[in-house]
Amino acid sequence: LARSAVRLDLAGGWSDTPPFCLKQGGAVVNLGVDLNGQAPVQVFVRSCQDRHIVIRSIDLGAQTTIRSFEELENCREIGGEFSLAKAAFCLAGFHPRFHKNSPPSLARLLEEFGGGLEVSLLAATPKGSGLGTSSVLAATILAALGATGGLGWDLEDLVQRTMALEQMLTSGGGWQDQAGGIYHGIKLIETKPGLEQKPSVRWLPEHLLGPDTANRMALLYYTGITRVAKTILQEIVRGMLLNSHSHMEILFAIREHAVAAYQSIQRESWPSLCRAVERSWELNQALDRGTNPPEVAAILGSVRDWSAGAKLLGAGGGGYMLLLAK
């Protein structure tokens, strides 16, 4: 059994995305949260006698059975019900590309492993939520399979392997989603330039976003609008690769703002937290005009008199927003 939170990004999002983070390093402030008192992402693994892999999604009410390497490798369809889990099984060594001296068939490999596997997935947030659920789920599947296979992966390993998994799925993405979910609490996560992005974590006091304050003054609100992150990601990454001056200038500002937000939250000042979130929202809109579509602007406008800070979570355009009251 492996369980994870989802992440709420407060500052620094996009600075964790290759190629920017590979060249300049990244910095984000986010927090891992449960929803309604429960870990929203859960993965259950158990052995079975049959030499096959069963993957079932509790929230989608779907199930598939895998009996061959070819079926396992068919994981490149973005948005496919079981693409994440199939890719995670490959990375965990259940495919010849990731298994030294692999047996000729999946049935034989599972026989040597000690039996088949049944995996049940639960993600208690809607698709396109902006809470990093896909990356968190991928990391949680890897954690469960790593524990089952005795692979000894730590949290740092899971962050890096989740990035590799997303490259397998051609969805790309950075490291902040999985890091935000598997590292608890509110924190600043930083990486140095380089191909190996090793997260360094500095935790912050949780008073401002603890139950006594947050449950009275913060609201996680679902807009009902979804937006696929891959489409946004492709355009932003294109600007990075072209070394667009406007893109790069904003990305540097986003990374620097994450450190400033960390320092302001350290002071445990609610107005400072609100200003940090508001500035993050401004920078996100400067980077991508589509971040704040008219429907979202209308929602924010209707609560402007009561709001001290607000932003859409994730890549923007839809999903959940975080509202901080005056």
Contact 313, 130 (CB under 8 A): yes
Note the pLDDT of residue 149: 93
Q: Is residue 21 pLDDT above 80, yes or no?
A: yes
Percent of the chain clearing pLDDT 90 (strictly above): 78
Sequence-distant (6+) residues with CB within 8 A of 70 are none
Confidence band of 77 (pLDDT split at 50, 70, 90):
low
Q: DSSP 3-state assignment of 80?
A: coil
pLDDT tens for 113-135 read: 999 999 999 999 988 899 999 99
- Range 260-267 average pLDDT: 93
Q: Which helix (H) or strand (E) holds 141?
A: helix 133-148
pLDDT-wise least confident of 194-208, 238-252, 294-308: 238-252
Burial state string for 186-202 with b = 16 or more CB within 10 A and e = fewer than 16: bbbbbbeeeeebebeee
Task: State the Cα–Cα distance between residues 126 and 168, nearest whole angstrom.
Answer: 23
Strands (E) in 200-253, as ranges, are: 200-203, 218-222
Note the pLDDT of residue 26: 97
Q: Show the CA angle centred on residue 281, arms to residues 277 and 282, nearest 5°.
A: 120
Phi, psi for 223 (deg, rounded to 5): -80, -20
Note the pLDDT of residue 228: 63
